[in-house]
Amino acid sequence: MALPIRLRKLPAVVAMAPTIFFVVVVLCFGLGWTIWTSFTGSKLLPSNDFVGMEQYARLFSSNLWQAAVFNVAVFGLLFIGGCLMLGYLLAVLLDQNIRFEDGFRTIFLMSASLSFVVTGIVWQWVLDPTYGVQAAVRSWGVAGFRFDFLTRQDTAIYALVGAGVWQATGLGMVIMLAGLRGIDQDIWNATRIEGVARWKVYVHVIPAMIKPMIATAAVLLSLTAIKIYDLVVVMTGGGPGTATEVPAKYVMDMLFQRSNLGQATAAATVMLLAICLLVGVPFAIFLFRRARTAGEAH
């Protein structure tokens, strides 16, 4: 005797109950509480002293916040662009049916398996002028050699970009390599018959065919850039000056160092809106294009 549909679904519902509880109660409650607190004058402890948009007005007029937004914009553009370009280049190289491909893929992915804390420690040591590359080269007799990018205000953000790209390039490589492996062999046969150079196909044809993979990698890297915190804290601590201050560090400093809960939650809410835009806009565009394509097919 077959069980009713509701009874057959019961084990799945029971198994999903903790996740549903976490999402609906914990996550939604925490999100709602954070947004509400951003409209209050909370300091060390939360309060219900409603102040309207005052925290946001202070936030956007803060020179430190403006510097943090500018820095994360510079970091994000260079970080995403660098990871996508190097990731695509590595994916193309691995797509040539080379020997020991699995070994090379593992090597390129190894950095992505590390946390940004570990990456930051390694690169902080490499770039430190006291005992890093600069000190090593000078000990060999090159007294004028400089490799102090991390300690200069005009280059510190680029040092962070280099460390971030080194860590995250493997992620973009894997995603785009999956796209390359999905290209129909007839495309390659057609270009070979037409006499088109292989490198021209990779430059002019293939990127348009793997747009979904490139977009996926770009969104994931964008989320990483917006939330960047541990790499900054480990390598520079936000300095020198405010050269590497970022929004996530601004939130943590307001929360734990300045005991300004209202300002911290206002900054966190702005970051949340930015993340929602980065995820929601590409997804909406994808749904719109798919609906339009389906409409044209009918």
- C-alpha–C-alpha distance, residues 250 and 242, integer Å: 11
Nearest to 114 by CA among 75, 169, 151, 74: 169
Residue with tokens 């021209």: 200
Report the chain (298 residues): mean pLDDT per 10 consecutive residues: 61 80 81 93 91 95 96 96 96 87 84 89 91 90 88 94 95 92 87 87 91 90 92 94 95 94 96 87 78 71
Q: Is 40 helix (H, G, I), strand (E, B) or coil?
A: strand
130 membership: H or E segment, kind and range? none
235: Cβ contacts below 8 Å, ≥ 6 apart: 120, 123, 124, 127, 150, 159, 160, 163, 244
Q: Can you read off the two tokens belonging to residue 84? A: 């996508």
- Any idea what the Cα angle at residue 272 is, between residues 290 and 111, rounded to 5°? 80
- C-alpha–C-alpha distance, residues 162 and 73, integer Å: 15
Q: Alpha helix locations (H) across 210-260?
A: 211-226, 230-235, 247-252
Contact 76, 222 (CB under 8 A): yes
- C-alpha–C-alpha distance, residues 29 and 36, integer Å: 10
Question: Residue 50 forms beta bridges with which residues?
Answer: 40
CA dihedral for 288, 290, 293, 295, sign (positive or negative): negative
- C-alpha–C-alpha distance, residues 136 and 143, integer Å: 10
- C-alpha–C-alpha distance, residues 161 and 151, integer Å: 14
- C-alpha–C-alpha distance, residues 201 and 222, integer Å: 27
Check residue 1 and give its pLDDT: 47
Check residue 4 and give its pLDDT: 63
Contact 43, 260 (CB under 8 A): yes
